[in-house]
């Protein structure tokens, strides 16, 4: 009888491991976030600027959400498009400049004899560009708010708060 009891235990242990393997294989093949597929945009100049079409699509997608969610009139849509075009061009040029400086900084850091003054200078330039980028974002939102009604301003505050909380969530996951 002891022999049959041991056989049953081994059967259940084997069944447990087979089930565990099937579950793991299921997650491996059907998981939305596949391992090894993530692109590291902070390390790749090409990722940020050779995919200009995708970057423009993100701008258009954000603009579409704003105009649809706030029920903009045709006049407001035209004004918003002009504002967005102006500020998105400014932001893109600053991002391009920032990436050039980051590439320069990387080159300086990995040089055989790194020059501390050059590294500090480029680092400060990157910080200034980042500050300018934030000022442009603020001016962009301020101009969008100027064309909104009081009710739309309340909605845009909620919308931007939701975007910001989603952005923080995605940053934590990376």
Is 139 a residue whose pLDDT tops 90?
yes
What pLDDT score was predicted for residue 37? 47
What fold is seen in the domain 51-169? Answer: 1.20.120
| Contact present, 105 and 123 (Cβ < 8 Å) | yes
Q: Give Cα separations from 109 to 46, 47, 112, 127, 137 (angstroms).
A: 20, 22, 8, 17, 30
Rounded percentage of the chain residues whose pLDDT exceeds 90: 27
Contacts of residue 150, defined as CB under 8 A and 6 or more positions apart, other chains included, come to none
Residue 140 predicted with pLDDT over 70: yes
Higher pLDDT pick, 4 / 172: 4
**Cα–Cα distance, 174 to 166 (Å, whole number):** 13
Task: For the chain, give every domain's residue range.
Answer: 51-169
**pLDDT (0 to 100) of residue 40:** 41
pLDDT (0 to 100) of residue 27: 77
Q: Which of 62, 73, 61, 59 is nearest to 152 (CA)?
A: 73
Q: Assess whether pLDDT exceeds 90 at residue 131.
A: yes
Average pLDDT in the chain: 78
Residue of higher predicted confidence among 67 and 73: 73
Higher pLDDT, 114 or 32: 114
Residue whose pair of structure tokens reads 């997608």 in the numeric block? 61
Pairwise CA distance, residues 136 & 91, whole Å:
7
Longest CA span, the chain: 86
pLDDT score recorded for residue 38: 45
The tens digit of pLDDT for each residue in 14-52 reads: 899 999 999 888 877 776 555 544 444 444 334 444 444
pLDDT class of 9 with cuts at 50, 70, 90? confident
């Amino acid at each position: 009888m002891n022999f049959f009891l041991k056989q049953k235990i081994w059967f259940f242990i084997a069944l447990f491991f087979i089930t565990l393997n099937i579950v793991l294989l299921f997650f491996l093949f059907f998981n939305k976030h596949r391992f090894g597929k993530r692109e590291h945009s902070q390390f790749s100049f090409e990722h940020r600027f050779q995919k200009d079409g995708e970057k423009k699509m993100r701008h258009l997608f954000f603009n579409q959400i704003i105009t649809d969610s706030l029920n903009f009139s045709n006049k407001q849509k035209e004004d918003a498009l002009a504002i967005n075009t102006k500020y998105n061009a400014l932001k893109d040029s600053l991002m391009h400049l920032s990436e050039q400086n980051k590439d320069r900084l990387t080159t300086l850091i990995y040089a055989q004899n790194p020059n501390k003054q050059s590294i500090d200078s480029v680092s400060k330039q990157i910080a200034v560009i980042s500050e300018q980028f934030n000022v442009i974002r603020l001016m962009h939102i301020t101009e969008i708010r100027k064309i909104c009604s009081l009710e739309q301003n309340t909605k845009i505050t909620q919308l931007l708060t939701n975007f910001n909380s989603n952005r923080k969530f995605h940053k934590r996951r990376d």
